[in-house]
Amino acid sequence: MDHRTHRAAQRIEGRPAAPGIALGPLVRLSAVRHDVRQRRPAAEEHQALVDALTASQEGLSLLAREAGDAEAEAILAFQIALLEDDSLAAPAFAKIAEGEAAHRAWGAAIDPEIASYETAEDPYFRGRASDLRDLRDRVLRHLAGEADQVVPAGVILAADDMPPSTFLATDWREGGLVLRRGSPSSHVAILARSRGVPMIVGADIDRLDDGTDALLDGDAGLLIVDPDQDTRTDYCRRRTEQAEARAAMASFSGPVHTAAGEPVQVMINVTGLAELKTLDPGDVDGIGLMRTEFLFQGRAQLPTEEEQYRIYRSMLEWAGDKPVTIRTLDAGGDKPIAGLTRADDANPFLGIRGVRLSLRHLDVFVAQLRALARAAVAGNLKVMIPMVTVPEELDRCRVLFAQTCDQLRREGIEAKMPPLGMMVEVPAAALTIEDFNANFFSIGSNDLIQYVAAASRDEPELAELTRPSRAVFGLIGHVVKYANRAGREASLCGGMAGDPAQVAALLDQGLRTFSVAPGALGPVKAAIARYTGPAA
Amino acid sequence: MNKLRASVLMRHEVGLHARPSVKLTKLAKAFQSRIDLGLSPDGPWIDAKSIVKVMATKAPKDSTIYFRAEGGDAKAALDALVTLVDEDFPDGP
């Protein structure tokens, strides 16, 4: 018997985060562990750093040739120019000559540069710190003999965690993602569902070998390493079936009614223009949530008013006369933005995020309000404010918005104040919803659930607590019923809205506007069409 | 020592940021002359060919950039650099 070709399949269980099936080789993304290096004689250490710098430069040049978008090219050109500048590494070579190990010498040379950007007054310059950190780590990886983390397309990636910017920079194709940390409602998971990348979280990835064949089942939350031929055939068939089912679901287009004939609005959640390219505005009732934080993440500089204006206006033009609900920057929590959010926040989810951050960075906030007020002229724009806790926060935003419109008109620029609504995700706001001067309400169920349950959505072991509970449905019902009485719109744009299993319970609460990831449009509309009325 | 000098107002929206700095240092490196950059007519001066040092000035929008150059092609270098900044760092060929 030949045991080498009959390694037993290994099953690793996690939690489903984005549905679908991926088949391919495993690639581990590891954190930099440069301290395992041994120090060698100075001449060898010198050569090691020279080689690492050269290899890093070659790696970056290769990436730059394949970048394909101006933003990525600019970051890479900056990093390449830094490596070409001898004055960056000069202090490192001096330290090596004094007997320091190459990796520590390189850190000592570049860390003060990183620190000087981190403390810069201008947010654009503060944002550069992340480019330098990335450059530092790239060189350290080469020094430690680790390959560049250039991810081939169509693989199954395993990592401890992944920032959204890395996810966006990866060519997923038929690939998938396995994380040890993270949760189904993290931003990476939201992106994965929106782009159809199968993903699981909470998986033990310690004993995985690079290059091993694996099969990722995003529906069951399962990773099978070295699957046998039968399993493989079975999953290939299921993948084909799912693709066909998705195509059939997607054909569930146009307006939707419950089985009793009541109309229900189904809108989409988006992060940018890219997702709209493949969508027909006729299939949706509008954009229920545009998350603007993705315009701010993983880039060389914060987006200018002009750039934001062009993107917002393009969305309004895409939607025609249908509503486009744009949420102002919701940074903080699990969405850090270099140069804007605080890295030292002890508890980011209870810290300075959403409107709390915007009201502390008025330059950034007003630039966004100006872009929104200008875009409002072009279509049916609605603007909502995230993380509102007390009525005064929304009142301040309303005053700022009105002042911004006045200022634009004084400058001779056409501007319009759109309806201003709020996200309902803090329990204090949900409980006192009648106190808020909001034109509309949008319930953010992901944050609402974790704040109601006092359980982190990033803690895999607390998954049971972060399921929608009676307490959560009670708050949702309270908000929806008040909104219906007051003649204002209430929608739900969190993950619950996109889960066909929750649709009936939400309709029971009186909810008639859903906003879901584009991939969930078909299944959610199908669930609405099956709804016959409140359970007896 | 005979140093040529020039100055130009930078109107770039985000100041001497990554993209403009890359262009400026690349252009400076195309010349043989020693070229310094400062944010005041009296310095302090830094090497205009070093992106680490140019970026470290963190020059904001509406700064006046001062150059001084010394060498065979100093005049051509200053003309080219002033044009680059004055035209708001256009994309080269």
Query: Which domains does chain B possess?
Result: 4-86 (3.30.1340.10)
* pLDDT, tens digit only, all 536 positions of chain A: 344 444 577 899 999 998 889 988 888 876 655 555 667 888 889 999 999 999 888 888 877 776 555 656 777 888 899 999 988 999 999 999 998 889 999 999 999 988 888 888 777 777 677 778 878 888 888 887 765 455 667 789 998 877 655 676 677 878 899 998 777 766 678 778 877 899 999 999 888 887 888 999 998 899 999 998 888 888 888 888 777 666 655 556 677 888 888 999 999 999 888 778 778 888 889 999 999 988 887 666 788 999 999 999 999 999 999 999 999 999 887 777 877 887 777 788 899 999 999 999 999 999 999 999 999 999 999 999 999 999 999 999 999 999 999 999 999 999 999 999 999 999 999 999 999 999 999 999 999 999 999 998 878 888 889 989 999 999 999 999 999 999 999 999 988 999 989 999 999 999 999 999 888 888 899 889 889 888 65
Q: Which residues on chain A are in Cβ contact (under 8 Å) with B19?
A: 74, 77-78, 300
Cα–Cα dist B93/A306, whole Å: 25
Q: What is the location of CATH 3.50.30.10 in chain A?
A: 10-30+149-238
How many helices (H) and strands (E) chain A has is answered by: 19, 17
Neighbours of A456 (CB within 10 A): 16
Query: pLDDT at position A253, please?
Result: 65
- Residue A483's closest CA among A535, A528, A424? A424
Residues 6+ positions from A328 with CB-CB distance below 8 Å: A292, A355, A358, A365, A368, A369, A372, A383, A384, A385, A386, A397
CA within 13 Å, CB half, A486: 18
DSSP state letters, B26-88 = HHHHTSSSEEEEESSTT---EETT-HHHHHHT-PPTTPEEEEEEESTTHHHHHHHHHHHHHTT
Query: pLDDT at position A66, please?
Result: 64
Contact in structure between A352 and A336 (CB atoms under 8 Å): no
Closest residue in chain A to residue B49, using alpha carbons only: A85
Q: Decide yes or no: CATH 3.20.20.60 for domain A256-530.
A: yes
The reply to whether B23 touches chain A by the CB within 8 Å rule is no
Query: pLDDT at position A488, please?
Result: 96
Neighbours of A103 (CB within 10 A): 25
Cα–Cα dist B40/B42, whole Å: 5
Mutation choice for A interface testing from B11, B22, B26, B57 by most A CBs within 10 A? B22
Q: Give, as one character, the DSSP assignment of residue A169.
A: H
Closest residue in chain B to residue A300, using alpha carbons only: B18
Contact in structure between A442 and A419 (CB atoms under 8 Å): no
Query: pLDDT at position B66, please?
Result: 93
Q: Which residues on chain A are in Cβ contact (under 8 Å) with B26?
A: 81
Q: Is A343 exposed, middle or buried (0-12, 13-18, 19+ CB in 10 A)?
A: exposed
Contact in structure between A421 and A442 (CB atoms under 8 Å): yes
Residue A119 main-chain phi, psi, to 5 deg: -100, 10
Query: pLDDT at position A264, please?
Result: 95
Q: How far is B80 from chain A (nearest CA, A)?
A: 20
Catalytic residue among A187, A361, A397, A405: A187
Q: What is the location of CATH 3.20.20.60 in chain A?
A: 256-530
Q: What SS3 class is residue B19?
A: helix
Nearest to B15 among A78, A85, A122 (CB): A122
Burial A135-146 (b: 16+ CB within 10 A, else e): bbbbbbbbbbee
- Interface contact B52-A78, CB threshold 8 A: no
Q: Which residues on chain A are in Cβ contact (under 8 Å) with B25?
A: 81, 85
Per the prediction, chain B carries an average pLDDT of 86
DSSP state letters, A425-484 = -SHHHHHTGGG---SEEEE-HHHHHHHHHT--TT-GGGTTTTS--HHHHHHHHHHHHHHH
pLDDT reading at B12 higher than 80? no
Which own/partner contact pairs does A349-355 have at CB distance under 8 Å and 24+ positions apart?
A349/A447, A349/A450, A349/A456, A353/A386, A353/A387, A354/A330, A354/A385, A354/A386, A354/A387, A354/A388, A354/A423, A355/A328, A355/A385, A355/A386, A355/A387, A355/A388, A355/A393, A355/A394, A355/A397
Closest residue in chain B to residue A110, using alpha carbons only: B52
Would residue A405 show up in a list of annotated catalytic residues for this protein? no
Is the bond preceding residue B44 a cis peptide, omega within 30 degrees? yes
Q: What SS3 class is residue A406?
A: helix
- Find how far residue A267's CA is from the centre of its chain: 19
Query: pLDDT at position A61, please?
Result: 83
Q: Which residues on chain B are in Cβ contact (under 8 Å) with A72?
A: none
- Interface contact B19-A77, CB threshold 8 A: yes
Q: Which residues on chain B are in Cβ contact (under 8 Å) with A82?
A: 51-52
The helix (H) or strand (E) run that includes residue A94 is helix A86-97
Cα–Cα dist B65/A24, whole Å: 54
Q: How far is B52 from chain A (nearest CA, A)?
A: 6
Query: pLDDT at position A33, please?
Result: 55
- Residue A95's closest CA among A77, A83, A107? A107
Cα–Cα dist A446/A425, whole Å: 8
Residue A290 main-chain phi, psi, to 5 deg: -110, 115
Query: pLDDT at position A363, please?
Result: 93
Residue type, A373: A
Query: pLDDT at position B93, please?
Result: 44
Q: What SS3 class is residue B4?
A: strand
Q: Which CATH number fits domain A10-30+149-238: 1.10.3720.10, 3.30.420.40, 3.50.30.10, 3.40.50.300?
A: 3.50.30.10
Cα–Cα dist A400/A366, whole Å: 8
Q: What is the location of CATH 1.10.274.10 in chain A?
A: 34-143
Q: Which residues on chain A are in Cβ contact (under 8 Å) with B15?
A: 122, 124-125
Task: For residue A349, give Cα distances in angstroms to A423, A444, A454, A461, B80.
Answer: 15, 14, 11, 18, 50
- Residue B82's closest CA among B1, B29, B40, B27? B27
pLDDT reading at B15 higher than 90? no
A279: left (phi over 0), alpha (psi -120 to 50) or beta: beta
Residue A55 main-chain phi, psi, to 5 deg: -65, -40
DSSP state letters, A274-300 = GGGGG--GGGSS-EEEEETHHHHTTSS
Cα–Cα dist A330/A304, whole Å: 17
Query: pLDDT at position A495, please?
Result: 86
- Interface contact B18-A116, CB threshold 8 A: no
Entry pTM: 0.56
Cα–Cα dist B62/B14, whole Å: 9
Residue type, A144: A
- Topology given in CATH for the domain delimited by A34-143: Enzyme I; Chain A, domain 2 (1.10.274)
pLDDT mean over B22-50: 90
Pairing of strands A513-516, A263-270: parallel
Q: How far is A72 from chain B (nearest CA, A)?
A: 11
- Residue A386's closest CA among A466, A305, A331, A337? A331
Percent of chain B with pLDDT over 70: 95
Report the catalytic residues of B.
17
Q: How far is B50 from chain A (nearest CA, A)?
A: 6
